[in-house]
Amino acid sequence: MDPPASIDRGRIVSTARNPERLTQDCAGQSLDLSRPVIMGVINTTPDSFSDGGSLYRNSRLDLERAMERAREMAAAGAGILDIGGESTRPGAHPVSPGEELDRVLPLVERIAKELPVVISVDSSTPAVMREAARAGAGLLNDVRALTREGALQAAAASGLPVCLMHMQGEPGTMQVAPHYDDVVREVGEYLRSRVSACEQHGIARERLLLDPGFGFGKTVIHNMQLLRGLPHLSAMGIPLVVGFSRKSMIGHLLGREVGERMPASLALAVLAVERGAAIIRTHDVAATADAVAMWQALEELGGT
C-alpha cells in the first residue's frame, strides 16, 4: 500500500488534527480534537469482559455507583463518557431494546444534568440511538457501523456525530478464525464503504469518527498490523477512535490477566496517539490521561 499523504518525512501530520476538523458539535457541546481526547468506558451490563457487573448491586444497576464512576472519570480528565448497555464480548447474552434502554437511559439523563462531558452511547440499536439523543447523548458509538436495520436513519435523524467501528463477523464468533489478506487495506475499504453509506443517508463526513475495532474479529497479529498501519487510516481525514483497554491481545502477548493489563494498555494508547489517533477509549481514565499528557508535552516542545 502507498504511504498516506499525511506522513511527512516520517512524522505523522494527522488530518484528524487538521485545523478544519478540530471540533465536533455534540448536541451543542463542542468536542475539541486539537489534542487527544480520553473516552471513559462505563458498562451498565452485568457481563462485560473487563469490569463485568462492578456497577451492579442485588442484580440491578446501581445508578449512584455509576454516577460516582462517571464523576471520577470526568474529574480525571475524560472529555467523553461512553455508556454501553449491551456486552460485545464473545458469548454475551443478547439484550432486547427495552432492556438496553432501561440500563442506559437513566444514566445518560443523570450525566447530562450533572457533568460537563460529551455523553457517547455505545449501541447498535436504532431505538436506543433515538431515545439516548433525546435524553442528552452527544455522540453515537456503533461497533456495527450502523448496519442494523434502521440504524442509518436513526443516526441521521439524531443529528449527532457517529463513530463507525470495523468488526469482522459478530461478537459471538468473531474470534474463531479471523482472516484478512491485508488487514489495513480491508479495514480501510470497509470504513470507506460505511462513510459512503452515511453520506447517502444524509450524515455528513464531518460528523463521522472512524475506529479500526481492535480485538473485533482480529488476531493479535492483525491488531499489531493495524496499529502499525494506523497512519494509513488517519490519512482518510476523519478523526480516529481506538480502544485497547484491557483487551485480550494484551493477555495473549504478555500472559496477563484482565486486572494486570493497564501498563500495556497505556503503552498502546501512546503508540496509537503517536500514529494519529484522536480519541482513546479506556477504562483507566486517570492513568491514560497522564500517559497521553506526556506525549502531548513532548509534542508541544516542537522540532527541537
Catalytic residues: 247, 281
Could you tell me the smallest distance in angstroms from the CB atom of residue 8 to ligand 9MG? 28
Q: Does 143 bind ligand 9MG (CB under 6 A)?
A: yes
Q: Does 95 bind ligand 9MG (CB under 6 A)?
A: no
Q: Does 188 bind ligand 9MG (CB under 6 A)?
A: no
Could you tell me the smallest distance in angstroms from the CB atom of residue 5 to ligand 9MG? 25
Q: Does 211 bind ligand 9MG (CB under 6 A)?
A: yes
Q: How far is CA 83 from the centre of its chain?
A: 11
Residues 58-77 that bind ligand 9MG (CB under 6 A): none
Cβ-based nearer residue to ligand 9MG, 7 or 287: 287
Phi and psi at residue 79, in whole multiples of 5°? -90, -20
Q: Does 284 bind ligand 9MG (CB under 6 A)?
A: no
Among 100, 122, 131, 284, binds ligand 9MG (CB under 6 A): 122
Rounded distance, CA 63 to CA 61, Å?
Answer: 6
Stretch of 110-118, 206-214, 256-264, 268-276 lying at the interface with ligand 9MG (CB under 6 A) = 206-214
User: Angle at which helices 220-228 and 183-200 pack, to 10 degrees?
Assistant: 70
Q: Yes or no: say if 15 and 237 are a contact pair by the CB < 8 Å rule.
A: yes
Cβ-based nearer residue to ligand 9MG, 126 or 213: 213
Q: Does 138 bind ligand 9MG (CB under 6 A)?
A: no
Phi-psi region of 77 (alpha: psi -120 to 50; beta: other; left: phi over 0): left
Stretch of 132-140, 190-198, 211-219, 265-273 lying at the interface with ligand 9MG (CB under 6 A) = 211-219
Residues 224-253 that bind ligand 9MG (CB under 6 A): 241, 243
Cell 506525549, residue located = 295
Among 84, 85, 188, 231, binds ligand 9MG (CB under 6 A): 84
Q: Does 281 bind ligand 9MG (CB under 6 A)?
A: yes
Stretch of 128-136, 200-208, 209-217, 269-277 lying at the interface with ligand 9MG (CB under 6 A) = 209-217
Q: Does 151 bind ligand 9MG (CB under 6 A)?
A: no
Phi and psi at residue 5, in whole multiples of 5°? -60, -20
Residues that bind ligand 9MG (CB under 6 A): 84, 88, 122, 141, 143, 163, 165, 211, 213-214, 241, 243, 281
